[in-house]
Amino acid sequence: MLTAITEAVRDGNTYDIAELVQSGLDAGAKPLDMLKAMTDGLDQCGKKFESGEYFLPELLMASDTFTNGMQVLEPHLGQAALGQAGKVLLGTVAGDVHDIGKNLVGFLLKSAGFEVIDIGTDNSTERIVAAVKEHQPDVLGLSALLTTTMLGMGDVIKALDSAGLRKTKVIIGGGPVSARFAEQIKADAYASDAVEGIRKIRELIGR
C-alpha cells in the first residue's frame, strides 16, 4: 500500500491519492510512514525529471497529488497546544516557488505546538525583513530548492544583521543547501529534513 502511495504521487495520480491515503489510515498504517511514502514519490518524480523521462507538467501533477494526499493525512499528524512551543516565521526566498518542503516543516511545527506564520513563496529580502520586524518570531525558517535562489538566504541574513534583527534565529533547509553553506552565510542552523528541522528549532529556542 505504501508503494502504491509513492507511485501515485510520482505519477501524478491526483484522483486516487485521497482514497489511497484514507485506505492506508483505515488499515492502521502510521501517518508518518505514509508521509514518507508520499515524499518518496516526489523524489522519484524529481529523478525522472532530471533524467529527461518526465517534464514540467509531471512535476506539477506530482505536487498537486502530494497536496491532495496531505489534505487527508494532515489531521492525523497530531496536534499539540498551539503556540506554546514558540513562534516560527516560514517562507521561501526570492525566485523560489517550491513550497512542499516548507509546508511540511509548517505542518510538523504546528503539530508540535508552535505558532507558525507562513509568508509563502518567492519572498524578496525586504519582505522577509519586514515580516520579521512585524511578527518578532523566535525563529525564521527559510527554504530554497534551486542552486540559484539559495544565494538569497545569505542576503536575508545580511539584511537582518543590518536591521539589528538577529535576536530572531535563522534556520535554513532545502535540497541544494548544506551545513557548510549555512555556516558560510552565518545561519544559526541547517536541517536536512523536516523532522530534523523541528528538533533544531527546539534547540535554537532552548525550550
Binding site for ligand B1M (CB under 6 A): 39, 42-43, 45-46, 49-50, 56, 59-60, 62-63, 95-102, 104-105, 141-143, 145-147, 171, 173-176, 191, 193-194, 197
- Complex with ligand B1M: residue 28 or 206, whichever CB lies closer: 206
C-alpha cell at 6: 509513492
Q: What is the DSSP letter of 27?
A: T
- Complex with ligand B1M: residue 145 or 185, whichever CB lies closer: 145
Please, is 54 exposed, middle or buried when counting C-beta atoms within 10 Å of its C-beta (0-12, 13-18, 19+)?
A: buried
- Complex with ligand B1M: residue 23 or 121, whichever CB lies closer: 121
- The answer to whether the beta carbons of residues 106 and 46 sit under 8 Å apart is no
- Complex with ligand B1M: residue 26 or 110, whichever CB lies closer: 110
Cα(83)–Cα(91) distance, integer angstroms: 18
Cα(39)–Cα(36) distance, integer angstroms: 5
Cα(67)–Cα(169) distance, integer angstroms: 29
- Complex with ligand B1M: residue 46 or 113, whichever CB lies closer: 46
Residue 68: CB minimum distance to ligand B1M, A: 12
Residue 41: CB minimum distance to ligand B1M, A: 9
Residue 72: CB minimum distance to ligand B1M, A: 17
Cα(51)–Cα(84) distance, integer angstroms: 45
Residue 143: CB minimum distance to ligand B1M, A: 3
